[in-house]
Amino acid sequence: MNRPKSIPSLRFAKLGVVALVLTVLVIAHQLGVFARFAEPKTLADSLVAMGVWGYIAFVVAYTLLQPFGVPGTIFIVAAPLIWPWHTAFALSMTGTMGASVVGFTFARFVAKDWVSARIPARLHKYDESLRRNAFPTVVVLRLLLWMPPMLHAFFGVSKVRFWTHFWGSLIGYLPPLFLVSYLGGDMFDLSGNIRPGAWPVLGGLVIASVVIAVLSRLYERRFLQRSATSPDAPAQVDSAQSANLPADSPGEGGTEPLRD
């Protein structure tokens, strides 16, 4: 009896959330928040001036701003320039996971239709992998692509379960965030630029990323081949059968129709 009323209420709730997000973004812009987070040095100076409250400000700003366009690399590069690497790692992981959850939740529950229409085609090629083997696919995509807002959105509009996305993202983030936190102070200067002596380390990271990408691609192909030949794979109807037997009608002898 109350179902027709719940649909408009849900729609108004979603519009309210969207309006709130836009309002917060506009206020943040007017207050110069985006300018403060424009580069790691500016961010570092602002957080150091806040003392202990800088921890909270870092995580909250990262969580709320990154899903809507502020680059996450600014935060994870700035963190080891401010704090010891283990503190930087903990804060970077907390902020990155918070941003991922916000982006995922916004895409799934607030603006799914609007977001779905804007997902790049290059991400949709992973739809089948997510359907067949969601957890390792999430891990590999996070490991390779990190945290672009559109990837949060892609997972949100997909059929991946929340906790599969959460734990897969956590595992995928661990290696790159650890490396940036541990080596960030040696790799980047206060302006966020790469130090001259850090290029060999950066080259090693690029090579490692390529190797991981190749291995993940080989794994994906092997998994798809194994799935296609497994006994649980959908039955295939040859051309002769499909020409003489409609897919939605029973076969000879009253047998059930073939179904996907």
CB under 8 Å, gap of 24 or more: what pairs does 52-59 form?
Answer: 54/82, 55/91, 58/91, 58/95, 59/91, 59/94, 59/95, 59/98
Across 108-132, average pLDDT: 88
User: Does 144 fall in a domain?
Assistant: yes
User: Does 180 fall in a domain?
Assistant: yes
Across 13-22, average pLDDT: 59
Across 221-236, average pLDDT: 58
User: Does 129 fall in a domain?
Assistant: yes
Query: What does the pLDDT look like over 138-172, one tens digit per residue?
Result: 998 998 888 999 999 999 999 999 999 999 999 99
SS3 label, residue 236:
coil
User: Does 104 fall in a domain?
Assistant: yes
Cα–Cα distance, 171 to 144 (Å, whole number): 12
Question: Which one is predicted more confidently, 102 or 28?
Answer: 102
Radius of gyration, alpha carbons of the chain:
23
Cβ-in-10-Å burial (0-12, 13-18, 19+) of 52 comes to exposed
User: Does 246 fall in a domain?
Assistant: no
Give residue 39's pLDDT: 62
The domain total for the chain is 1
User: Does 222 fall in a domain?
Assistant: yes
Across 117-139, average pLDDT: 89
**Which tokens is 231 given?**
């006994």
Averaged pLDDT score across all residues of the chain: 75
Write out the residue range of the structural domain in which residue 169 sits: 32-230
Among 95, 73, 47, residue whose Cα is nearest residue 179: 73
User: Does 54 fall in a domain?
Assistant: yes
Across 73-98, average pLDDT: 92
Cα–Cα distance, 73 to 171 (Å, whole number): 18
User: Does 159 fall in a domain?
Assistant: yes
